[in-house]
């Protein structure tokens, strides 16, 4: 009884005094686990790619208003002044460069992929953050790609050759075609690949939307994409495999193409290659996160999830990494109410790993909206480092700012600093509540997000807000913590509520 009373008093003390519990965000990184790359007001910015050096220094790339920037951070989140100029390399404003992907070569040089104007582009930096003049022309390569082109990924082969992938307008009018270019290590076009270094793949209807590329240890090339099933014309997950010469590999599902999970709105945004050769595709179908695993021969792996598919509601997968034990770390953002970052961990069989943040997932509200994670990587100690952007509404009309967040390897959570009683204009009733919880707010305070936690700080659910009302009928009796986020005029608050049916 004495122990119970002590714990109860401690919890009450935390609520009154705003003491934070252990966090999913690693407070030893940046400021409370976050590093923000600010740009001039109204520009807006975001990080699209991230890579980890062997010494655990972090390299990110992104852009703002026609400017590309690459930055290197020490492991504590401080800019590394030995890189570029004060830790950064930037192209001139409106120079036309835009780089969304970064990979590290075995020799430590940094390869960036994106667009230069309307053409695909590669750019290489030395380890100190200066352009590598031995690559292409002044460190840059930009082959002409034709009309309607979009860039989506790069990969390095075991022999050092570089493959760049994206889309161009299909010649048959079916939408987008997949196009790949391959370059030698010095930036020259590799004429042994496809037709003079270029591979072009179109389909019969509506085209492709590729987002991921990887190279197998045997040199075969995988492309993850959304496509269309030609008979039903359903939007489907798809994966294509090419031989090292650029021709489709007919040993992969007999045609070189796998067509899988289908829906009305389908997006493949990320892909992972397991050591056993199995391939995991990640994205979203009709507003829900979807992973699908196929075997090395291009057929569904029914030992994963349900009939090869694992899902999670109201979010999308945008990036993925594999742990040494086979667990799959998936990053993305929510698609209900407002966009917020989410990290999930799946077991090798496709079920959520409840040992990660106890429920297998962690939500990270940052700004009020426009919060998207685009890439993540794992440190040698298992910590998760992710990048993207968030909605910064501290400036007029709001903008997006580039941000990096580091999570503990096990996703430990905290209740954000509590503000019990700080805003008497916001009231909740009835309490205790059995089904519908009503929230009274001033006319200029709109609820942007509602997050439910257990009393000891474990994330439970994001609650839909309907006319300032929350439905808690589906949760067991007990004490909970409810965190509410509002428009910029009001700080987030956390209140204790009691559910009693």
Domains of the chain from N-terminus onward: 19-407 (2.130.10.10), 418-499 (2.60.40.3080)
DSSP string, 321-387: EE-TTS-EEEEEEE-SSS--EEEEEE-TTSSB-TTSTTTSEEEE--SSS--EEEEEEE-TTS-EEEE
Which one-letter DSSP state was computed for residue 19?
A: P
Please compute the mean of the pLDDT values over residues 138-149 and round it to a whole number. 78
The total of other beta-carbon atoms located within 10 Å of residue 239's CB is 26
Write out pLDDT tens, residues 159-169: 999 999 998 88
Q: What is the share, in percent, of the chain residues with pLDDT greater than 90? A: 56
Q: Which pTM does this prediction carry?
A: 0.80
Q: What is the share, in percent, of the chain residues with pLDDT greater than 70? A: 86
Q: Considering the chain, what is the average pLDDT of its residues?
A: 86
| Statement: residue 78 has pLDDT above 80 | yes
Whether 409 contacts 25, CB under 8 Å? no
* Nearest of 246, 144, 240 to residue 195 by alpha carbon: 246
Please compute the mean of the pLDDT values over residues 9-23 and round it to a whole number. 36
Strand order from edge to edge, sheet including 478-486: 459-462, 447-454, 478-486, 493-499
pLDDT for the residue 394: 58
User: Which own/partner pairs from 294-300 qualify as long-range (CB within 8 Å, at least 24 positions apart)?
Assistant: 294/239, 294/258, 294/260, 297/251, 297/252, 297/253, 298/239, 298/241, 298/252, 298/253, 298/254, 298/257, 298/258, 299/253, 299/258, 300/260
Cis status, amide bond into 85, omega within 30 of 0: no
Please compute the mean of the pLDDT values over residues 434-453 and round it to a whole number. 87
| Statement: residue 4 has pLDDT above 80 | no
Torsion over CA of 365, 369, 370 and 375, rounded to 10 degrees? 10
| Statement: residue 272 has pLDDT above 70 | yes
The tokens for 367 are 């700004």
pLDDT for the residue 23: 53
pLDDT for the residue 485: 84
Please work out, in degrees rounded to the nearest 5, the angle formed at the alpha carbon of residue 339 by the alpha carbons of 267 and 480: 125
Please compute the mean of the pLDDT values over residues 77-81 and round it to a whole number. 97
Please tell me the least confidently modeled range out of 27-36, 127-136, 345-354. 27-36
The tokens for 171 are 């010649």
pLDDT for the residue 397: 60
pLDDT for the residue 423: 64
Which one-letter DSSP state was computed for residue 132?
A: -
Please compute the mean of the pLDDT values over residues 95-124 and round it to a whole number. 89
Write out pLDDT tens, residues 194-215: 999 999 998 766 678 899 999 9
Strands 341-346 and 328-334: antiparallel
Residues 432, 412: Cα–Cα separation, whole Å: 29
The tokens for 365 are 């509200």
pLDDT for the residue 264: 84
pLDDT for the residue 3: 42
pLDDT for the residue 204: 62
Can you say whether the dihedral through the CA atoms of 465, 466, 469, 470 is positive or negative?
Answer: negative
| Statement: residue 400 has pLDDT above 90 | no
Residues 178, 199: Cα–Cα separation, whole Å: 8
Residues 389, 333: Cα–Cα separation, whole Å: 11
The tokens for 337 are 């109410």
């Amino acid at each position: 009884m004495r122990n119970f009373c002590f714990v109860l008093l401690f919890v009450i003390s935390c609520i009154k005094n705003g003491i934070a519990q252990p966090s999913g965000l690693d407070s030893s990184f940046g400021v409370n686990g976050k590093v923000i790359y600010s740009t001039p007001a109204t520009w807006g910015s975001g990080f699209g790619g991230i890579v980890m050096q062997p010494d655990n220094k972090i390299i990110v790339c992104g852009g703002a208003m026609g400017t590309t920037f690459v930055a290197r951070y020490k492991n504590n989140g401080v800019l590394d002044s030995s890189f570029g100029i004060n830790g950064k390399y930037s192209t001139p404003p409106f120079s036309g460069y835009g780089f969304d992907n970064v990979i590290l070569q075995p020799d430590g040089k940094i390869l960036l992929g994106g667009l230069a104007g309307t053409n695909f582009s590669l750019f290489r930096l030395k380890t100190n953050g200066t352009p590598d003049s031995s690559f292409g022309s002044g460190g840059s390569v930009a082959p002409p790609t034709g009309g309607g082109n979009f860039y989506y990924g790069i990969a390095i082969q075991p022999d050092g050759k570089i493959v760049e992938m994206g889309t161009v307008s299909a010649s048959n009018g079916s939408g987008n075609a997949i196009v790949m270019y391959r370059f030698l290590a010095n930036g020259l076009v590799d004429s042994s690949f496809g037709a003079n270094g270029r591979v072009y793949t179109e389909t019969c209807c509506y085209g492709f939307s590729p987002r991921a590329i990887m190279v197998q240890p045997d040199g075969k090339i995988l492309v993850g994409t959304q496509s269309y099933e030609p008979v039903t014309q359903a939007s489907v997950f798809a994966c294509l495999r090419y031989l090292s010469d650029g021709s489709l590999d007919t040993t992969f599902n007999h045609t070189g193409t796998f067509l899988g999970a289908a829906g009305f709105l389908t997006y493949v945004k990320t892909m992972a290659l397991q050591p056993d050769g199995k391939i995991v595709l990640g994205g979203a179908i009709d507003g829900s996160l979807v992973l699908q695993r196929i075997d090395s021969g291009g057929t569904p792996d029914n030992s994963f999830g349900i009939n090869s598919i694992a899902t999670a509601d109201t979010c999308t997968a945008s990036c993925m990494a594999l742990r040494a034990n086979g667990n799959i770390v998936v990053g993305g953002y929510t698609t209900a109410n407002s966009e917020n970052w989410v990290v999930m961990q799946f077991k090798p069989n496709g079920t959520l790993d409840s040992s990660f943040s106890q429920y297998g997932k962690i939500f990270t509200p940052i700004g009020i909206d426009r919060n998207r994670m685009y890439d993540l990587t794992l440190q040698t100690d298992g910590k998760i480092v992710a990048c993207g952007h968030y909605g910064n509404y501290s400036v007029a009309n709001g903008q997006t700012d580039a941000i990096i967040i580091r999570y503990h390897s096990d996703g430990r959570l905290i209740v954000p600093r509590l503000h019990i009683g700080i805003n008497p204009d916001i009231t909740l009733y009835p309490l205790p509540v059995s089904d519908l919880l009503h929230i009274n707010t001033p006319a200029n305070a709109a609820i942007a997000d509602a997050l439910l936690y257990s009393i000891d700080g474990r994330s439970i659910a994001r609650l839909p807000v309907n006319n300032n009302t929350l439905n808690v009928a589906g949760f067991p009796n007990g004490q909970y913590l409810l965190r509410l986020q509002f428009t910029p005029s009001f700080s987030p608050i956390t209140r204790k509520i009691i559910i009693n049916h």
